[in-house]
Structure 1
């Protein structure tokens, strides 16, 4: 499993209805994309849920690197680059994935938290704690699914959770609205830790 995210910060006065219309028109195009576990079309709106910015921030969980490559080097991502400029694409190696009690609902909210490991932290210990936290999160009412991933270049752990309705406030988390969820191979995402 691979996690991928790009975050496009938009002007403070940007009409976010433009993004909503874009997702309504194009979101379904990835509903059957090979190699894609799920893609959450995320936005933050300035002044909503404490967001300081307007942002479009799709988040992906890929089953295969071939699927991810097919998307990044294909027409869909190029269209996004043509419209917004080429964003920095963050990506992480998947450590674990779990479905929650609300797995059969359509999620409307998401929470994302990135945590840099301090130089003295043992990576295996940090990963074990992150997987334990993921398992606890997956048991919470309202959770659709949750994942944890790592970027070993920057030693950054990423926690990502989709929620049925509202993502509860938590320190260090960014909260998003989910406009659409493409999930062509959600059933193929392995549950639990990935090794």
Structure 2
């Protein structure tokens, strides 16, 4: 499985209701998308325990065909039209744990970890922090940057001192047939 995410940093005075309305009106269109396991429509709002306004959707794909279709068949053009050219971070999933109530998630904690230079990678262990009340986690590694990211999903906002907590506006389920 692969994952992709683009992070759109928005100005401090950006009206985040624009993003919320956009997702509310069209987020469901990703339900049932080819090869999609899920898409989390993530935002952060400055002053709401975050340092910046951002829109940072996270996609987890079971195969690359759907991801390629999304990027090159006009769907990603909506992002380019609205926000300009964006770099897409691509990674490989190494662990996915989703509980039965995963699709009720409302928040995501994002934690970055380096994969240090070492003599051998055999038996490398990805550090996975277990949090109380989590309903899922996804570990994505990126060997061209030698780092991995742990995304932990919650139904309620976690009591964390970290600043990389995103609100989920909508969680698209790629397994369900799309309704347009």
Q: Same fold (TM over 0.5)?
A: yes
1:95 positional shift: 0.5
> 2:168 — aligned with what?
178
1:129 maps to which of 126, 139, 142: 126
- With structure 2 as the length reference, what TM-score do the two structures score? 0.89
- With structure 1 as the length reference, what TM-score do the two structures score? 0.83
- Give the aligned length: 176
Question: What SS does the corresponding residue of 1:68 show, helix, strand or coil?
Answer: helix
> 1:164 — aligned with what?
155
Cα deviation, 1:53-107, whole Å, max 9, x if unaligned, reads 000000011111111111111222101111101211111111111123743x511
Cα deviation, 1:131-170, whole Å, max 9, x if unaligned, reads xx2xx63xx5532221111101111111011111113315
> 1:190 — aligned with what?
none
Pair 146,91 (structure 1): closer, same or farther in 2 beyond 3 Å: same
Q: 1:61-140 residue pairs with structure 2 within 5 A?
A: 61-100=60-99, 102-103=101-102, 106-120=104-118, 122-126=120-124, 128-130=125-127, 133=128, 137=130, 140=131
Looking at structure 2, the residues matched to 151 and 124 of structure 1 have their Cα atoms a distance apart, in angstroms, of 16
Contact 1:100/1:146 (8 A) holds in 2: no
Looking at structure 2, the residues matched to 76 and 129 of structure 1 have their Cα atoms a distance apart, in angstroms, of 33
Looking at structure 2, the residues matched to 167 and 117 of structure 1 have their Cα atoms a distance apart, in angstroms, of 26
Contact 1:100/1:142 (8 A) holds in 2: no
Structure 1 outlier segments of 4+, above 4 Å:
none
> 1:9 — aligned with what?
9
Looking at structure 2, the residues matched to 42 and 122 of structure 1 have their Cα atoms a distance apart, in angstroms, of 36
Question: What SS does the corresponding residue of 2:96 show, helix, strand or coil?
Answer: strand
Q: Structure 1, unaligned stretches of length 5 or more? A: 187-195
Q: Structure 2, unaligned stretches of length 5 or more? A: none
Pair 73,125 (structure 1): closer, same or farther in 2 beyond 3 Å: same
- RMSD across aligned C-alpha pairs, in angstroms? 2.0
Pair 142,119 (structure 1): closer, same or farther in 2 beyond 3 Å: same
1:123 positional shift: 3.4
1:115 positional shift: 1.4
